[in-house]
Amino acid sequence: MEKKFKFALLILMFNMFISMSGIGLIIPIMPQYLKTFGGEGAVLGFLIASIALAQFIFSPLAGTMSDRLGRKNLIIFGLVMNGVFMILFGMATHLFELYIFRFLTGVGSAFIITPVMAYVADITTGKQRGKAMGQIGASISLGFMIGPGIGGLLSNVNLHFPFYAAGGAAIFAAILTLFFLPATKPVLKDKAKGIGSGNVIKDMRTSFKTPYFVLLLVVFIFTFGIANFQASLSMFLTYKFQFTPNNIAIILTVGGFVGVIIQSLFLDKIFKRFGEMRVILFSLIIAGIFSICMIYISGFFLILVVATIFQTATTVIRPAVNTLISYTAGKEQGFASGMNNAYMSLGNMIGPAIAGTLFDWNMSAPFYVGATVLIFSFFLTYLWQKRTTTSFKSIDD
């Protein structure tokens, strides 16, 4: 049984890596790719937001459907959809097609991420869950980290080839999942027993009544703060310090690499030693402080250190929150996972849009706002955990 669990987790990690690297892959390619369509920065911003919008709308539906139809079927569907529309994105000849295909790629991602998180909750006990969520988080971080590098390397063939390769990899992952991922039984056979409707507006209202609503709110707030920072960083370093794309790539890669190492090797021990709640609170404060620090420092090495600490702090927040939500979700893992991804997508959608507006006004403003949001999230989480009757000290409690 232990071998079966580990193999299933490896497949899920591979699926998340493929999905996330496909999203990150476009970062170095898009400026030049959009020139062939006459598109500029605003177009890129809307394309990025379109994925978050698709995930926001469809994650609740994916979660509810996975509760009723089983996780495996939904994961396969999402991978195929992701792959097909990634390939079509690379074949597009008109700008409006880019918007359509990118949005539909995001729909596919919603049907991957949400059932994967729910699947992990299905196959893990309390003792295993924190470690498994950390490993899934590491695969996400690794995908985001090396995706841009893969995209830049494959673009040497031509600008369209990276999209074909990413689409082909997603379809290969779907085939691998079809034949090798053990199926899980639907957890809700009677539709009347499920709390999820699949309608994002109705499900958002339903989420207000769940015992983990504050955690979902924290997901939105800290994702907003993180996205605000990340969307501003490359522009900030370019305009204030005249950093080259290679300089920025090094900063992002080192931070991502450290996050992957911690999630893969140390996160389970950290959770057991301090508990998920303390990890969340500490990381929120650290992220807020170092967001402010970015404004007042200079020099490549010091910027590298500050950005790495910020990225490391934020990478451990996500698996910690995911784990706590799964503890309180009971049999509604699909619904909880869907709402988790929906709130995260909402933060990813709003954060960059506000960051861009703030940056045009004052290049330091996004970092002040991001820090304020993260520290507010700290106080919200702290007050909630003081009032809740559930103990979150450790996964062994």
Which class in CATH covers the domain with range 197-396?
mainly alpha
Segment 345-374 mean pLDDT:
82
Both tokens of 354, joined, read: 């506000």
Contact between residue 373 and residue 228 where contact means Cβ atoms under 8 Å apart: yes
Q: How confident is the model over 261-306, as pLDDT tens digits?
A: 887 778 778 888 888 888 889 999 999 999 999 999 988 999 999 9
The top-scoring range by mean pLDDT among 100-109, 143-152, 258-267, 319-328 is 100-109
Q: Does domain 1-183 have CATH number 3.30.499.10?
A: no
Per CATH, 1-183 and 197-396 having the same topology is answered yes
> What is the Cα–Cα distance from 362 to 377, expressed in whole angstroms?
24
Q: What is the pLDDT of residue 101?
A: 93
**Three-state DSSP state, 332:** coil
Q: Which two tokens stand for residue 174?
A: 């779907």
What is the Cα–Cα distance from 78 to 112, expressed in whole angstroms? 5
Q: Could you tell me the residue ranges of all domains in the chain? A: 1-183, 197-396
Angstrom distance (rounded) from CA 69 to CA 148: 34
Query: Over 90: is that where the pLDDT of 52 sits?
Result: no
Q: How many CB atoms lie within 10 A of CB 245?
A: 13
Tens-digit pLDDT profile for residues 178-221: 999 988 776 655 444 555 555 777 888 888 888 888 888 888 88
Percent above pLDDT 90 for the chain = 18
Give me the DSSP letters along 53-70: HHHHHHHHHHHHHHHHH-
In this prediction, residues 29-34 reach a mean pLDDT of 75
309-338: average pLDDT: 80
> Tens of pLDDT along 218-276?
888 878 877 777 667 777 887 788 877 667 767 777 877 787 788 777 877 888 888 88
C-alpha span between 231 and 346 (Å, rounded): 15
pLDDT in tens, 59-117: 888 888 887 888 899 999 999 999 999 999 999 988 889 989 999 998 998 899 889 98
CA distance 172 to 167: 9
Widest Cα–Cα separation across the chain: 60
| Mean pLDDT over the full length of the chain | 81
At residue 359, does pLDDT exceed 80?
no
Contacts of 275 (CB under 8 A, 6+ apart): 392, 393, 394, 395, 397
User: 86: which DSSP letter?
Assistant: H
Distance between CA atoms of 64 and 218, rounded to whole angstroms? 22
Contact 101, 8 (CB under 8 A): no
132: pLDDT strictly greater than 60: yes
- To the nearest whole percent, how much of the chain has pLDDT over 70? 88
Query: What is the enclosing helix (H) or strand (E) of 222?
Result: helix 213-241
**320 touches 280 (CB < 8 A):** yes
Dihedral sign of CA atoms 7, 280, 211, 201 in order: negative
Please tell me the predicted confidence (pLDDT) of residue 396. 42
Euclidean distance between CA atoms 217 and 384, whole angstroms:
11
State which of 19-33, 86-100, 126-140, 347-361 shows the largest mean pLDDT. 86-100
**Rounded Cα gap, residues 359 and 395, in angstroms:** 41
How far apart (Å, rounded) are the C-alpha atoms in residues 383 and 387? 6
* For residues 15-24, average pLDDT: 85
Report the pLDDT value the prediction gives residue 352, as an integer from 0 to 100: 72
